[in-house]
Amino acid sequence: MTKTHERTKDYLTQLLKAYWFAPPVALWRAVELRTAAEETYERPLLDLGCGDGLIGRILFGTPGTVDVGFDPWLGQLERARQSGVYRHVDLADGHHLPYPAGTFATAFSNSVLEHIPDVAPVVRETGRVLKPGGHFIFTVPSDCFRTLLDGYVRRAGAGDVAGAEAYAASVDRWLAHHHYHTPEQWSAILADAGMALTKARYYIPEAVERLWDRMNARFGVNRQRSLWGILASPRLRPLGYQALLSRLLVGHLGRRWHAYYEMDVPPDEKGGGLLIVAKKEGKGGNSRRAQ
């Protein structure tokens, strides 16, 4: 079954409710899901690195619409199971998928591959478990991610290139990012796995990434101490004020950040995120879109 994508769906508000304690995470993920939701996802559908299932639940919506989710972390996987969006979940490593060749029509992965130092074997395994004609749809930080960081832009603009590079390296360490491939590099990695790149789309315009970077510091998401980090601490939950605090934040930032959420990368520019769609040789069948 195919469902038409609704451009008006408010992923920002949904994600702010989920990540009220870390609002910049909600902004990035909202733009990411708005972009990913425009693709068609044929079933059987595999969520590669499903984590706690939050992204799958918000993107695909209806319970049981993702056939399989897997993740190497048991605690995360149990939460994914409880989300209800997956028909089945597995504790597995992307280098050794426990599925026969040609099992899935689509594999989806949201901001996972950049955390894997040697990503080529995982891409080959993904290609193996796809049906002929199946698609691998994934999001990653782009080859421009580092140079669009607000801290990088400001330092480089002041002539401090070494300082800009040091700042970007600190973000790499904090986020555990191992690589930022260009579309051409992804094309080569995918070709080695028997897949052809059919789309490379940049998202997260510079203005959005710079806001995201500044807000990481303001809200203490980048592990710097902040008043917000204290107020949002789980240790203070018994005091009872956080429910009101979260509602106020969702309403305020939902309005203030909405224009950023709606921004697209101009056709002649690059953004901080990259959506890749690849196709395995052959043909394949039953489609649906993200809801």
Q: What is the pLDDT of residues 42-81, one digit of tens each?
A: 999 999 999 999 999 999 988 889 999 999 999 999 999 9
Q: Is the pLDDT of residue 283 over 70?
A: no
In a domain, 194, yes or no: yes
- Burial readout 134-167 (b: 16 or more C-beta within 10 A, e: otherwise): bbbbbbbbbbbbbbbbbbbbbbbeeeeeeebeeb
**What percent of the chain shows pLDDT beyond 90?**
87
Q: Is the pLDDT of residue 286 over 60?
A: no
Cα–Cα distance, 277 to 138 (Å, whole number): 7
Span 163-177, mean pLDDT? 98
Q: Is the pLDDT of residue 289 over 80?
A: no
Helices 150-157 + 206-218 axis angle, to 10: 100
In a domain, 279, yes or no: yes
The predicted pLDDT at position 285 comes to: 46
Question: Is there a contact between 155 and 163 (Cβ–Cβ < 8 Å)?
Answer: yes
Positive or negative torsion for Cα 122, 107, 285, 82: positive
Span 8-12, mean pLDDT? 89
Residue 5: pLDDT band (50, 70, 90) is very low
Span 228-250, mean pLDDT? 93
Cα–Cα distance, 91 to 55 (Å, whole number): 18
Residue corresponding to tokens 């897997």: 70
**The CATH number of the domain where 116 resides is what?**
3.40.50.150
Cis peptide before 44 (omega within 30 of 0): yes
The predicted pLDDT at position 3 comes to: 38
In a domain, 3, yes or no: no
Q: Is the pLDDT of residue 284 over 60?
A: no
In a domain, 291, yes or no: no
Cα–Cα distance, 105 to 243 (Å, whole number): 41
Q: What is the pLDDT of residues 137-155, one digit of tens each?
A: 999 999 999 999 999 999 9
Instruction: Count how many domains the chain has.
Output: 1
Q: Is the pLDDT of residue 215 over 70?
A: yes
Q: What is the pLDDT of residues 246-272, one digit of tens each?
A: 999 999 999 999 999 999 999 999 999
Domain assignment of residue 29, given as a range: 11-283
Mean pLDDT over each residue of the chain, to the nearest integer: 93
The predicted pLDDT at position 270 comes to: 98
In a domain, 25, yes or no: yes
The predicted pLDDT at position 224 comes to: 78
pTM (two decimals): 0.93
Q: What is the pLDDT of residues 21-49, one digit of tens each?
A: 999 999 999 999 999 999 999 999 999 99
In a domain, 5, yes or no: no
In a domain, 132, yes or no: yes
Question: Is there a contact between 46 and 67 (Cβ–Cβ < 8 Å)?
Answer: yes
In a domain, 4, yes or no: no
Distances (CA, A) of 36 to 2, 55, 128, 138: 15, 11, 23, 8
